[in-house]
Structure 1
Amino acid sequence: MLSPASSLAAGAASVGHGQILWDTYGIPHIFGADRLAVVRGLGYAEMEGQAETMLANVAQARGRMAEYFGAGTDGANVASDIQVRTERIPERAALWVLLGGREQRRILQAFADGVNEYAAQHGDTIAPSFRRVLPFLPSDVTSGEQNTVNFTFMPEQDNLPALLAAWKTGGRAAANALARSLTPGGSNGWAIAPSKSTSGNAILMGNPHLPWGNNQPIPGLGLYQWMEVNLVIGDPGHPALDASGVVFTGLPFLGIGYSDDIGWTHTNNTIQNANYYEFTVDQKGFYQFGGASLPLITSTATIKIRNENGSFSTKTFRVQDTIDGPVVAQSGDKVLALRVAGLDQPSLVTQYWHMIEAHNLSQFIAANSMLQMPFFNVVYADRDGHVMYVFGGRQPVRAGGTFGDYDGILDGSNPSTRWTRTFDWGSLPRAIDPPGGFVANSNNPPWTSTFPLTPTNDPSRFPAYVAPSFMDLRPQNAANFLLSQPKFTADALLAGKENVHMELADRVLPDLIQAAKTSGNATAIQAAGVLEAWDRNADALSRGAVLFERWWNIVSGDPAIAKDDTINFYSPHPKFRVGWSAAAPLTTPSGLADAKATIADLVSAAEQTEATYGSLDAAWEDAHRTVLVTHDATFAQTIPVSDDAVSGSDGKFGPVRVVNSFQGPVANQLWSYAGDGYVQLVEFTPQGAKARALLGYGNSSRPGSPHVTDQLAPFNAKALRPVWRTRAEVEQHLEKTEAY
């Protein structure tokens, strides 16, 4: 067997070289004679733009953070390594390399060669603590896939972190009380058919809402770091493939992207394919399953921990497995086992390369139906004028019941709760070329992703456990916009996508204002005046939005106020006068069930707003700031590099443009950390793709890079920048050229 170093050298000899043209936004345009040459260049470019982020992600997915970087704050790196090793990511990653097929192995090797070539040539730009992670191995891709998708995105979407925390303190009953309390981050994806396009061309809008990687102030979010790239295979004048989009740092394929022929975007879907199972374990280490007594399969694992003086200590821990997966927590005689879908699908890289190399709808479906990706809605458009929505991923085949029967911690002893099979692609909800002329998804279930419904996304034709029935306010805002006129230009679609209108305000303000005006409370009456004058937007200069946000935060946490139970997968709102209804999905909910009961909270919000900002009608920018950051060479120090006004609010308020915030170190400021990051707006003309895009937090996370804040100006203006895709265009906006 070859050593890692000799294996890398052998792979390098078989891969051709190419050229990278970096444009003035730090976007690499990678030119190569064939797929493997371009993949090698992609590895090289990702390292150049994201070396520290990539290597930290690799260390985490290997389960070796403590070995490379020490125990971490409060032992965070040790805990991360134990979790990764418990989930058996490293062993499974090696297996995926072997089982993923020859085509994929060649891609993995080419990517690793590019990463290691950059490190060999420019290692002096990388701090020694990160160089310890090198060399990059093919299995670092497959471990990264699992760590990102199977064990981060999917559990987060199914609210498992909150369930686990509640279970540890209050058991299964406490956890299941939270099962429908999740308000996850969202995304937007629209595809407009030629019949609804002024130009007669299909148009695709992609807008994932994720944390802004390491370019925002909260540490540890590098897993979500996008990087925009352009991949050109063959003759630059007549390429076999000219594809653009974004990659997750450390992965060798476009996660969201487009070519001249086709394009797609993803949104998180309401798929329920990550579950906790609770078992009761006796003193001999056995648990019950269907009347049988089964043993916990127990082994030990050891991690290394780097000490401050450079020496190492070790920690050995127990790893236990059940029929449903690894034991991730224990409380008394109860244990929780984690079961996630997609662990038998080792060829994700191959699928995504087949997707971007498709030339038409049938080829794209052939690639997408491999279902190596266990998660995500797919929103698609192409040059032939087709549009498509797919409730993608590995949907479990369950033993009947409703979605709500499976959205908490399940009884592991009951075999009927366990799933062993998943739907094939043709059995998933979807809509192809629907009569309404568009598909759109903003993390809503498949039943409201087209208007009108089609036979292939009609909930009556699917088991009730596939997805819940609800439509939150953000997707309603988007769908109402798309239904507002018969045809759209690309510019009009962009204006709709940048909509910061708080749909929630439209639904509840009339009742709230009326109750405040008749309350007899001077502060409430004054607050009603501010809210009545407000434009109900979250633009930087909007006045009234800060007060409304403060009221909502107070009233939604007030245990005396009844909460909504009609938007049944999300439940952050006070009880509405008219709850959400599938019969009126775009106009409900509305009103407040007991507006008078919320006036005390409005008074509190008014007093807090005035005390904090000196005025009830503080501007949105007074409270909300975008503070992007860079780091020192070791990534130990966070260095702010911007302080910009924000336009956009959290998705719970119903805007299309989402900007998520957290309480920053300045007492009266909320700082942005997630939401609108990457945007692509692509029109598929007969001559090919005409695109605009933006990565608001910049295309590099390297220490001191100028490409952190250089896209903030169009972001703040709610605009996009041009996408340069021909070599001639790139050469007119060239920062540098390098060979690899």
Structure 2
Amino acid sequence: MEWVKRSAFALVVVLIAAFVALATWEPFAAHTADAPAPREYTAEITRDPYGVPHIYGETDADVAFGVAMAQSEDDFFTLQDVIAMSRGRYGAIAGQDGAVFDYAYHLLDARGTAMREYPKLPADTRALFEAYAAGLNQFAADNPDEVKLANLFPVNGEDVAAGFVLRQPFFFGLANIIQPLVEGTPLRREFGPEIPGFENTPPAGPSALSQPDQAHRGVHPLPWGEDAALLGSNAWAVTPEKSGGPTTLISNSHQPLRGGVAWYELTVESGEGWHFTGANFPGSPFPFLGHNENLGWTNTVNRPDMTDVYKLEMNEAGTQYRLDGEWRDLESRTVTLPVRMGPVVLPIRRTIHRSIHGPVIENDEGFFAIRYGGMDSVQQLDAYYRLNKAENLDEWQTQMARMAVPSTNFIYADREGNIAYVYNAAIPDRPEDVKANWRGVLDGSRSDLIWEGSVDYSELPKIINPSSGWLYNANNEPYTAAGAADDIRPENVSPILGVELKQTNRSRRAYKLLSEANLLDRETLERIKYDTVYEREGYVADLWGALEAMEAQGDLAEARDLLLTWDFDADNEGRADALALLMIRDFMSAEYQNKSEAPDAKQALREAADHLKEHFGRIDPPMSDLIRLRQGEVDLPLDGGSDTLRASTTWEVDDDGRLSLVHGDSFIQWVEWPAPGSEGDARVSSRSIQPFGSAITRPESPHHTDQMQLFVDHKLKPVYFWREDAIAHATRQYRVTNAE
């Protein structure tokens, strides 16, 4: 029996050793970064009554250091997730969900792109990113107990750049190509205009193109698992002539309320002339939208056809692909994805492929390469910085014309009364003289289908200073933007560009209300911004038509009849508002994502009615009891719906049956420049609001929930853009530095 004991003891030793190895291997095997070159940075942070930081430094680099410190103070939790993704280590924090991002990190060659392209950026841009990395490192060194993952710090500018490379493509829907290719499920893509000589809708099957239904998964630091475009956004710009007063720019983004693509509000100002207020995402040294003294802009997601898929002809071994009759070696490498499972981190091996086309994914149908606009570029890092410092429309358009920001609509306004709409996208420069169905899966053996670069800025749809005096976008096609007299005509835009043909309810409402208004003053614009009405068009008309035709009895008939009395206004006043809120979202999602079939109306009605009865005991509770804004101990009612201008877009269902908002109206900024020649203070002013507060992951902070009531009440707070105003209203003012 002694040998049995010895064997058991040996087995225990082996198991303990294996456990220790799995619990400790990842930090030692991970990519390590060199810290930025030693340099001292100092910034002044002034917190306003809502905790929003005004960050001042003598140099732009000092300010970038301060940005990292301020945001770490408020949301170091999320910043670490973003940094872990930029190092291919998010799976070591978030398990299998995180490993999905790490796979994309390797597939898209985020690190390789950063290593190749980041050193080519101008020195002042790189200085900004090195300073931002130094700020992250400083906060981590000062607060070691908050660090989630060993050897995550130090980071450098290249690490931050790799995060940009990884994140940007997901905003034009690259996840909706990668995920079904990985899973071997049918592809679907945004439908655009007809390409002459080809069917617009590819045949059903593995090579069909459409978008998987991903709208209602949980919030991740990247929009993987949910269509970024589905998050929405609204934007308006109005001239002084139309407003009867100031040039007005309204930014109304619909982002997740938490996580790595949630807005963080800040103002930056330096002795070198950088002065901008707005919002960024964790992992950025500069705001992505907002305004400076002279001009401003905001963004909405657009959905051009930015990605082409190629079916490769492979040899039997799967190691070579044919191109123009010759065999080429497929680049392949094995990577290790760290996947946390409880107290251990498993090393999962995956093979990553790449061809001359771009990243390659293998599934049961074969090998598929993808090529997308903005691929293998980091120029957006420099472009956003230059846009922050632009002083007039010409300088701003010069930066836009670089086509460095891969996607998103831009709505612009400035102190001179100019307004502009640019359907911005680094759309592939597909050869128009080559006969191909760019909406389908392309022949990967033809090199003439492998385009280089993007189309010229002059080819993009854009409107500058329309006679109507207003511009808007609500994730709609660019052909409704400024009113009938000024709108772009679709026939004037090449179908090869793949510009989407789609309206949203928000677009229909905005276009109608703007077109009907004689004067777009502040009061009128506020009514439009917070409008909660659905037009009976598109998917809404289809759904109500199905309800009218539905045969139902008993409780189901009662629910149907209640919906047929609805006034199409999600304003918390009608008996049918709650039931309609539950019904509409999935039908909106189906149309938005070009699904071949809408949900079954009878089944959806049954599920919605059952939910309300189970949790509220009735099918007609006040909608404000159902849809809630929740953070910590604060629990407030909301209005608006999934596709209304006052947007309560997507939610999680809590245990009590209430719907807790996870994305919809998020950062709102209202900017006004007094009309040229007007009396009094001619300086720009703005107001803003966030759904929660600046300290998004700091429950102990007074700024964790302090904007919630204002947000629910449709109110805005002042932005202290000017340094003297920030100091005059400061609740705290302090210096941050990495000096010894």
Q: TM-score range by the shorter chain?
A: 0.7 to 0.9
Q: Distance in 2 between matches of 1:205 and 1:403?
A: 42
Query: How far off is 1:404 after superposition?
Result: 12
1:185 counterpart residue number? 231
Name the CA distance, whole Å, in 2 between partners of 1:699 and 1:401: 52
Name which of 606, 624, 628 aligns with 1:625.
628
Q: Any residues of structure 2 matched to 1:372-387 within 5 Å, and which? A: 372-387=404-419
> What does the per-residue CA deviation read over 1:413-455, in whole Å, with 9 as the maximum and x for residues that have no partner?
4556543231122221111101221111111122222223648
Q: 1:205 aligns with which of 242, 245, 250?
A: 250
Q: Give the Cα–Cα distance (whole angstroms) in 1 for the partners of residues 435 and 575 of structure 2.
A: 41
> What's the counterpart of residue 64 of structure 2?
39
Q: Residue 509 of structure 2 aligns to a residue in which SS? A: helix
Q: Distance in 1 between matches of 2:351 and 2:543?
A: 57
SS state of the match for residue 618, structure 1? coil
Asked whether 1:225 is paired with 2:262, we answer yes
CA distance in 1, matches of 2:82, 2:546: 52
Aligned runs of 1:119-158 on 2, under 5 Å? 119-120=140-141, 122-124=142-144, 126-130=145-149, 132-150=151-169, 152-156=170-174
Q: Is it true that 1:683 corresponds to 2:672 in the alignment?
A: yes
Which residue of 36, 60, 75 maps to 1:8? 36
* Other-structure match for 1:700: 695
Q: Deviations over 1:505-545 (max 9, x none)?
A: 89857994897599795657644653455442223454212
Q: Which residue of 2 aligns with 1:632?
A: none
The 8 Å contact of residues 429 and 454 in structure 2, kept in 1 or not, is answered as yes
| 1:198-229 deviations in Å (ceiling 9; x for gaps) | 21x2110111111122xxxxxxxx22132100
Q: 2:733 matched to which residue of 1? A: 737
Aligned to 2:400: 368
Within the alignment, does 1:105 sit opposite 2:126 as a pair?
yes
- Pair 1:665–1:528, CA change in 2 (3 A): closer
Q: Which amino acid aligns with 2:493?
A: F
- Number of aligned residues: 668
The question of 1:671 aligning with 2:656 is answered: no
Aligned counterparts of 1:432 and 1:370: Cα–Cα separation in 2 = 18
Summarize the Cα distance change of 1:481–1:131 in structure 2 as closer, same or farther, 3 Å threshold. Answer: farther
Does the CA-based 8 Å contact 1:556-1:572 persist in structure 2?
Answer: no
Q: Whole-Å Cα distance in 1 between the matches of residues 464 and 435 of structure 2?
A: 25
* Contact 1:230–1:244 (Cα < 8 Å) also in 2: yes
Moved more, 709-718 or 132-141: 132-141
CA spacing shift, 1:407–1:511, aligned 2, 3 Å: closer
How many Å separate the matches in 1 of 2:289 and 2:340? 37
CA contact (8 A) 1:403 1:465 kept: no
Which runs of no fewer than 5 residues in structure 2 stay unpaired? 1-30, 189-202, 214-226, 677-681
Following the alignment from structure 1 to structure 2, what is the Cα–Cα distance between the partners of residues 556 and 106?
45
For residue 339 of structure 1, give the secondary structure of its aligned residue in structure 2.
strand
2:493 corresponding residue in structure 1: 462
CA distance in 2, matches of 1:24, 1:58: 29
CA contact (8 A) 1:160 1:275 kept: no
Q: Describe the superposition over 1:595-628 as per-residue Cα deviations: whole angstroms up to 9, x where unpaired.
A: xx96787577556644553223222123222223
Q: State the shift of 1:726 in Å.
A: 2.8
Q: Which residue of 2 aligns with 1:499?
A: 531
Equivalent residue runs for 1:559-638 within 5 Å: 570=594, 606=609, 609-610=612-613, 612-628=615-631
How is 1:430-445 mapped onto 2 (pairs within 5 angstroms)?
430-445=462-477
Indicate if the aligned counterparts of 1:541 and 1:621 stay in contact, CA closer than 8 A: no
Counterparts of 2:521 and 2:177 in 1: how far apart (Å)? 41
Q: Which moved more, 1:259-268 or 1:188-197?
A: 188-197
Could you tell me how far 1:277 is from its partner in structure 2? Answer: 2.8
Pairwise CA distance, 1:667: 5.7
1:376-410 per-residue CA deviation (whole Å, 9 max, x = no partner) reads: 11110000000001111201122449999544554
Secondary structure of residue in 2 paired with 1:132: coil
What SS class does the counterpart of residue 145 from structure 1 fall into?
helix
Higher deviation after alignment, 358-367 or 725-734: 725-734
> Judging changes above 3 Å, is the alpha-carbon distance between structure 1 residues 329 and 54 closer, same or farther for their aligned structure 2 residues?
farther
Query: After the TM superposition, which of the residue ranges 506-515 and 642-651 deviates more from structure 2?
Result: 506-515
Partner of 1:631: none
Give the distance between the partners of 1:144 and 1:511, measured in 2 at CA.
41
Q: Percent identity over the alignment?
A: 24
- Cα displacement string for residues 670-710 of structure 1 (whole angstroms, at most 9, x for unaligned residues): 22111111111101125221211111132223332332311
**CA 1:622–1:289: 2 relative to 1, 3 Å:** farther
Tell me if structure 1 keeps the 8 A contact 2:237–2:471: yes
CA contact (8 A) 1:273 1:341 kept: yes
Which piece of structure 1 moves more, 96-105 or 602-611? 602-611
In structure 2, what residue type is equivalent to 1:446? P
Aligned pair in 2 of structure 1 residues 351, 276: CA closer, same or farther (>3 Å)? same
Q: C-alpha separation between the residues in 1 aligned to 2:162 and 2:207?
A: 31
Per the alignment, in what secondary structure is the counterpart of residue 734 of structure 1?
Answer: coil
Q: Is the 8 A contact 1:513 1:531 kept in 2?
A: no
Structure 1 residue 314, shift from structure 2 partner: 4.7
Q: Mean Cα displacement is larger for which, 608-617 or 492-501?
A: 608-617
Residue 719 (structure 1) aligned to one of 715, 721, 731: 715
Question: 1:61 and 1:105 mapped to 2: Cα distance?
Answer: 17
Give the Cα separation in 1 of the matches to 2:461 and 2:515. 22
Q: Distance in 2 between matches of 1:471 and 1:350?
A: 33
Corresponding residue for residue 25 of structure 2: none
Cα 1:504/1:612, change in 2 over 3 Å: farther
Deviations 1:230-282 (A, max 9, x none): 11223xxxx94532100111111110110121000011112221333333433
The answer to whether the 8 Å contact 1:442/1:475 transfers is yes
Alignment counterpart, residue 104 of structure 2, candidates 65, 79, 83: 83
Shift of 1:97: 2.0
What is the CA-CA distance between 1:308 and the residue it aligns to?
A: 7.2
CA distance, structure 2, for counterparts of residue 110 and residue 375 of structure 1: 27
Q: Is the 8 A contact 1:44 1:114 kept in 2?
A: yes
Asked if structure 2 preserves the Cα contact closer than 8 Å seen for 1:44 and 1:116, the reply is no
1:104–1:534: structure 2 CA closer, same or farther, 3 Å change rule?
A: same
- Tell me the CA shift for residue 717 of structure 1: 0.9
The 1:5–1:604 alpha-carbon spacing in structure 2 relative to 1, beyond 3 Å, is: closer
Paired with 1:551 and 1:102, the residues of 2 have a C-alpha distance of 53
2:330 corresponds to which residue?
296
Distance 1:229 1:353 in 2: 15
**Cα RMSD for the two superposed structures:** 3.6
Q: Secondary structure at the match of 2:55?
A: strand
* Contact in 2 for aligned 1:232/1:242 (Cα 8 Å): yes
Distance verdict in 2 for CA 1:400–1:708, change over 3 Å: farther
Determine whether 1:20 maps to 2:12: no
* Structure 1: unaligned runs, 5 residues or longer: 214-221, 558-562, 576-596, 629-639
Change over 3 Å in CA distance of 1:56–1:515 after alignment to 2: closer
What is the one-letter code of the residue matched to 1:672?
A: L
Q: 2:649 aligns with which of 650, 660, 671?
A: 660
Shift of 1:114: 2.6
Where 1:19 maps in the other structure, the secondary structure is strand
Instruction: Say whether residues 1:196 and 2:242 are aligned partners.
Output: yes
Secondary structure at 1:265's aligned position in 2? strand
Q: Which residue of 2 aligns with 1:593?
A: none
Shift of 1:656: 0.9
Matched-pair contact (CA < 8 Å) for 1:388–1:430: yes
Mapped partners of 2:539, 2:176: distance in 1: 27
Matched, 1:710 2:706: yes
Query: What secondary structure does 1:627 align onto?
Result: strand
Q: TM-score, normalised by structure 1?
A: 0.81
Residue type of the alignment partner of 2:240: P
The yes-or-no answer on 1:645 pairing with 2:637 is yes
Distance 2:464 2:508 in 1: 21
1:63 paired residue number: 88
Which segment is superposed worse, 87-96 or 173-182?
A: 173-182
Question: Which string of whole-angstrom CA distances, capped at 9 and with x for unpartnered residues, describes residues 114-170 of structure 1?
Answer: 3333333x315x4242463111211122111112102x22335x7325643663479
